[in-house]
Amino acid sequence: MDDLQKILSLDGVREKIFKIKDMYHPRLIANLSKEANDIYLVRKLICEDLSKLLDEKDINFGKVKDYIKDQIKKNKEQLKQIQSDDDINAIKVTIKEWEEFL
């Protein structure tokens, strides 16, 4: 039963990745505002990272969760060192998007 729960959890992450990718039509991307485009790019990079991670052999939900938490931690550390308001906002968006996967 525990193995089934882990498989379902990984499938939930995969499903979320596909939902995010399906939200953006190529023609729509060209018409996004700067803020919306920034969110799109962050989501795209996160989805690519997680897709690569999910393709690894012997992956489990615990490893995925630890990876996401590590990415959030790295971004929070980076946030402390940033001076520019634009960069601060970009890092905050990145943190928020990573947290959406937890």
Indicate the pTM of the whole model: 0.85
* Exposed e or buried b per residue across 61-70, where buried means at least 16 C-beta atoms within 10 angstroms of its C-beta: beebeebbee
Q: Are 46 and 93 in contact (CB under 8 A)?
A: no
DSSP 100: T
Q: Are 62 and 70 in contact (CB under 8 A)?
A: no
Position 72 pLDDT exceeds 70:
yes
Q: What is the mean pLDDT of the chain?
A: 88
| Residue 91 pLDDT grade (very low, low, confident, very high; cuts 50, 70, 90) | very high
3-state secondary structure of 24: coil
